[in-house]
Amino acid sequence: MLEIFAYLRQSIKRSFDNLHNEKLKNNLLQAVPFWIGSLITGVFAVLYAKAFTWGEALMNFIFDWHAWMIFIITPAAFVLSWWLVKSFAPYAKGSGIPQVMAAVELANPKEHSKIRHLLSLKIIVFKVLSSLALIIGGGAVGREGPTIQIAGSVFRKVNEYLPEWWPKISKKNMIMTGAAAGLSAAFNTPLGGIVFAVEELSKTHINYFKTALFTAVIIAGLTSQTLAGSYLYLGYPKTADVGLGIMFPVILVSGIAGVFASQLSVIMLRINAWNKTLTKDTEKVAFLIVCALIIASLAFFVNREILGSGKEIMERTLFTKDKHEDWYMPIFRMIGPALSFTSGGAGGIFAPALSAGASIGSVISGWIHLSPNETNVVILGGMVAFLTGVTRAPFTSAIIVLEMTDRHSLIFHLMLAGMVSSLISLMVSKRSLYDTLKMSYLEELRTDEENLRENAKEKDRQAREENY
């Protein structure tokens, strides 16, 4: 097998050596890794999405079979999800987006060796296993953030396996492009992937990697569509015949969603900080069991919609006559992600944030007696606003919701929702959840490396003393 790969590699090299136009040859060689990474990302994204859907279906099947099983399955799943990450891949925990942001910052000659802790094949394996365990147990997490870290890991490995004679490709551009391709494949939102790379990840001018970015997003999206079919994440909600007056409810919901989302971020960061003070595994397991039992009790005694990614809330409120949630559902859809996201297992916040925003829009539209079509607009605005409050990426949030529903006529409504939420969120907390977690990961990695250096120096000193 190795001989076959060596032969293929030499054949490719000879073929490119025959090209007379050096610039064309160099451009083609630089493009190939992005194409390969995009194809692999598309396949991984579809397989992961199917596994995630299977996990949610299994969760519902178990709890429909015997509802009381939630008090056994949920604590066991939370502990298993945390144990997998802690034991095998500590940086596979959480969303994955802060890890990618940290990897982009580490993509420099002095620190690039640290990236392997954040993006690797091991990360892919345990990211998937941990998030599936959490979703089967009813954890309120999504798959979109993990897909982005998986895609970043794929692109990094492709870049790492390039032979010595291959033209060098920027590690930073490779990781950013992989993240964009991952988001494109996860939501089937190519424009959202591009805007995400520019707004959330890129600290350099897009001209440096725009061609690679565009092609990667297209290839990953097409691969995903080929395997899963052409689809919208949510579908086509009815929004016709809505007047200009709807802007006022959109602004109201966006402001409330912005406050709730930024407060949720603050709460999750405080739980994370407190969780770090738990030094013993028994203390952490006890914390996880308590979190799981809180979620299980709310689901069993009040409403099961606290469980899972929350996609069913978005689909029901947008596409059925049952459009108005109970007043407590926005709070539930904040408690679920807050306890699940801080559990130490793997799982994203994108879908839970969207469902929390949808529940806020649903409740408020019921209070002010909007028509069904107006309610849909307000729900979509709430989704954009809540996601913006968490990510502080208003354009990414607006484009993602726009593409997943194909409601291009609402572009101004959605951008307004993102802008209002962004302004309100800044008043509550200046730094986003992702940015704060990114800084935490960077500090951990740099501290670990410094400790390793100090330990090595201490060992050398002891060895010299013994020899003396």
Q: What is the mean pLDDT of residues 330-359?
A: 92
Using the predicted structure, report yes or no on whether residue 456 has a pLDDT greater than 80.
Answer: no
Residue with tokens 């959202």: 192
Domain range spanning residue 173? 34-228
Asked if residue 23 belongs to a domain, the reply is: no
Choice among 201-205, 219-223, 303-307 with the minimum mean pLDDT: 201-205
* Cα separation, 206 vs 200, whole angstroms: 12
Residue with tokens 């997943």: 404
- The pLDDT confidence band at residue 285, using thresholds 50, 70 and 90, is very high
Asked if residue 460 belongs to a domain, the reply is: no
Task: Please report, for the domain that includes residue 365, its CATH number.
Answer: 1.10.3080.10
Give the pair of three-digit tokens for residue 141. Answer: 């997490």
* Cα separation, 122 vs 119, whole angstroms: 8
Asked if residue 72 belongs to a domain, the reply is: yes
Residue 265 three-state SS:
helix
- Please give the pLDDT value at position 93: 92
- Please give the pLDDT value at position 51: 94
- Please give the pLDDT value at position 336: 92
Q: Kindly report the CA angle at 62 between 57 and 65, in degrees rounded to 5?
A: 120
- Residue, of 168 and 333, whose pLDDT is higher: 333
Same-domain check for residues 223 and 249: no
- Chosen domain end from 162, 197, 228: 228
Q: Any bridge partners for residue 142, and if so which?
A: 348
Asked if residue 238 belongs to a domain, the reply is: no
Q: What is the pTM of this model?
A: 0.86
- Please give the pLDDT value at position 133: 95
Same-domain check for residues 82 and 163: yes
- Please give the pLDDT value at position 47: 93
- Residue, of 382 and 231, whose pLDDT is higher: 382
Using the predicted structure, report yes or no on whether residue 9 has a pLDDT greater than 80.
Answer: no
Same-domain check for residues 223 and 304: no
Same-domain check for residues 260 and 156: no
* Cα separation, 301 vs 55, whole angstroms: 22
Which of 309, 351, 312, 305 shows the shortest CA–CA distance to 331?
305
- The pLDDT confidence band at residue 1, using thresholds 50, 70 and 90, is low
- Residue, of 192 and 449, whose pLDDT is higher: 192
- Please give the pLDDT value at position 10: 67
Same-domain check for residues 254 and 199: no
Same-domain check for residues 171 and 294: no
Asked if residue 15 belongs to a domain, the reply is: no
Same-domain check for residues 76 and 118: yes
- Please give the pLDDT value at position 254: 95
- Please give the pLDDT value at position 453: 67
* Cα separation, 394 vs 408, whole angstroms: 16
- Residue, of 167 and 122, whose pLDDT is higher: 122
- Please give the pLDDT value at position 429: 80
Same-domain check for residues 329 and 362: yes
Using the predicted structure, report yes or no on whether residue 279 has a pLDDT greater than 80.
Answer: yes
pLDDT 10s digits, 155-214? 999 988 888 878 788 888 888 888 888 888 888 788 888 888 777 776 555 555 566 666
Exposed (0-12), middle (13-18) or buried (19+): which is 51, by Cβ within 10 Å?
middle
Using the predicted structure, report yes or no on whether residue 22 has a pLDDT greater than 90.
Answer: no
* Cα separation, 300 vs 307, whole angstroms: 10
- Please give the pLDDT value at position 173: 84
Long-range contacts: 406-414, Cβ < 8 Å, 24+? 406/232, 406/236, 407/236, 407/237, 407/239, 407/380, 409/239, 410/239, 410/377, 410/380, 413/246, 413/247, 413/250, 413/377, 413/380, 413/381, 414/380, 414/381, 414/384
Same-domain check for residues 214 and 281: no
The letter for the amino acid at 433 is: L
Same-domain check for residues 87 and 136: yes
- Please give the pLDDT value at position 379: 95
Same-domain check for residues 390 and 278: yes
Percent above pLDDT 90 for the chain: 44
Residue 13 three-state SS:
helix
What is the domain count for the chain? 2
Let me know: does 155 contact 219? Beta carbons within 8 Å: no
Q: What is the mean pLDDT of residues 390-394?
A: 89
- Please give the pLDDT value at position 107: 85
* Cα separation, 92 vs 110, whole angstroms: 23
- Residue, of 55 and 191, whose pLDDT is higher: 55
Q: Helix axis angle, 350-367 relative to 311-319, nearest 10°?
A: 40
Asked if residue 22 belongs to a domain, the reply is: no
- The pLDDT confidence band at residue 7, using thresholds 50, 70 and 90, is low
Cβ-Cβ contacts under 8 Å for 353 (sequence gap 6 or more): 261, 337, 386, 387, 389, 390, 391
Which of 67, 89, 86, 85 shows the shortest CA–CA distance to 138?
67
- The pLDDT confidence band at residue 405, using thresholds 50, 70 and 90, is confident
